[in-house]
Structure 1
Amino acid sequence: MKAIAATFLVLCHLAISHDWNCDEGPRLYNAQQIDAGQGQVVATDRYNYPYVLIGSFWQRLSSIRFKHLSVGYAGLWGSSTSNIVFKYVAGNFVRSTGQSMQQVDAGGGDQLVGVTTSNQAYCLRCSSALTYSGVGYLRWNSLSRRLKYYTCSPKNGCWGVDTSNRVYFTRTINSVSCGTSGWTQVAGQRMKMVEVGTDGTVFGVTSRGDVYQRVGIVTGRPSAGRYWARVPMCMRVRHLSYDLNKLWVVTNSGLVLKCTR
């Protein structure tokens, strides 16, 4: 397995364009999902266990199984394999009561956003997201938008993907009221997921596992950019995340790649 992985990575290094150089990241066997924010990196493995990157090693956080983790201004949150929302508090994941979610995102301006198993988009106000410690009922605000994946940035609004893989963008979401500026469809490639970094940089993954970056986004000026530019990868990609000039990639084979310019 190690020899095969090494061979693929050599080919990958040769195949990547000069814009991005990808090497194997800290090894987490059979990684499934990854998220980076506020200088932290979290991930899940094939058994849905949650991990955080400490130096060059992955530290398992809990025996609770998660389908999706997210870390950002609102803290570290996750959706379990039973669609229960948890927050990481004082070294442990605490269970919340309220809306069930299949995916959550903590990267926006202190609010938490997520989508339900029926692909309805919701927002949790900052007053609840920041202070929640495991006590009380979380009251989510419906955003009247059907999405299967949802991601936010404090500097470039929020992005979402619907069940037809169409991409949508909203310039702002108010962390106090959870009100949005309205959604517009983004032309071009259809994506199975998109991720926006803290600085507003946006990447997407198609259903075939191809990676694209949204071109024309100016830091601090929320916009949908101009077009999608393909980022060559020698392996099909399952999931990705971007933070602090590093692109973290999970391949379909479960390898973690760390890419830099």
Structure 2
Amino acid sequence: MQIDAGLGQVVATNTSQIPYYLVGDKWIRLPDSLKHITVGPAGIWSINSETKISKYVAGNWVTYLFFQLNLNCQNKGWSHIDGKLSMIEVATDGSVFGVNSAGDVFTRDGITASKPEGTGWSNVPMYMPKKHETYDLGRLWVVSKTGVTMVCTH
């Protein structure tokens, strides 16, 4: 179970890892089963149980990277993004950060209005493995696997 908010939008997963989007006072079910979901100016991003990264693209039939969306209208609304993460976060400025199972922190490069899924991942060097991160107002907050909380400017 997990919840995330950004720019007045709220997304969550229940204990069965089913994702939802809050519209007014009603939760709208999103497709798939997700380990983690986040929302912000860069859209809705998720990680499934196989640690695959996706970006929700409501109604857009496009090709990203090496994964082609189903052109016969059977797409569930998610576009595949390269890489494997344990958690992902979309910041209010549109930045996307994530942590992999080894505790390495990454940021998504090349996010623009014309390419909202970005172009690749860059490692953010840290001196100990992390289990969680969040980013806002130019500050990257991280929690290490041993429970130490740190903040740095990025």
Q: Please give the range of the TM-score, normalised by the shorter of the 2 chains.
A: 0.7 to 0.9
TM-score (norm 1): 0.50
Shift of 1:182: 2.3
**Is 1:204 matched with 2:103?**
no
Instruction: Give ranges in structure 2 of 5+ residues lacking alignment.
Output: 60-75
Q: 1:105 to 1:222 in 2, by over 3 A?
A: farther
**Is 1:141 matched with 2:28?**
yes
Q: 1:249 to 1:198 in 2, by over 3 A?
A: same
Partner of 1:115: 13
- Select the structure of larger CA radius of gyration: 1
Map 1:225-236 to 2 at 5 A: 225-236=118-129
CA offsets 1:166-198 (integer angstroms, 9 cap, x no match)? 00002569xxxxxxx9210101x2001000101
Aligned partner (choices 124, 128, 140) of residue 22 of structure 2: 124
Partner of 1:105: 4
Q: 1:171 to 1:213 in 2, by over 3 A?
A: same
Task: Verify the 8 A CA contact 1:157 1:172 in the aligned structure 2.
Answer: no
Partner of 2:69: none
Shift of 1:256: 1.1
CA distance in 2 between partners of 1:228 and 1:222 (Å): 14
Task: Verify the 8 A CA contact 2:133 2:143 in the aligned structure 1.
Answer: yes
**Paired residue secondary structure (2:32):** strand
Partner of 1:132: none
Task: Verify the 8 A CA contact 1:215 1:229 in the aligned structure 2.
Answer: yes
Aligned partner (choices 95, 101, 107) of residue 213 of structure 1: 107
Map 1:140-219 to 2 at 5 A: 140-153=27-40, 155-171=41-57, 182-187=77-82, 189-218=83-112
Shift of 1:255: 1.1
More strand by share: 2
Q: 1:205 to 1:117 in 2, by over 3 A?
A: same
Aligned partner (choices 145, 148, 154) of residue 255 of structure 1: 148
Task: Verify the 8 A CA contact 1:236 1:251 in the aligned structure 2.
Answer: yes
Shift of 1:104: 0.8
Partner of 1:133: none
TM-score (norm 2): 0.82
RMSD: 1.9
CA distance in 2 between partners of 1:257 and 1:221 (Å): 33
One-letter amino acid matched to 1:142: R
Instruction: Give ranges in structure 1 of 5+ residues lacking alignment.
Output: 1-101, 129-138, 174-180
Identity of aligned residues (%): 38
Task: Verify the 8 A CA contact 1:171 1:223 in the aligned structure 2.
Answer: no
Q: How many pairs are equivalent?
A: 138
Task: Verify the 8 A CA contact 2:19 2:30 in the aligned structure 1.
Answer: yes
CA distance in 2 between partners of 1:232 and 1:239 (Å): 15
More helix by share: 1
Q: Which structure would you say has the larger RCO, counting Cα contacts within 8 Å and 6 or more residues apart?
A: 1
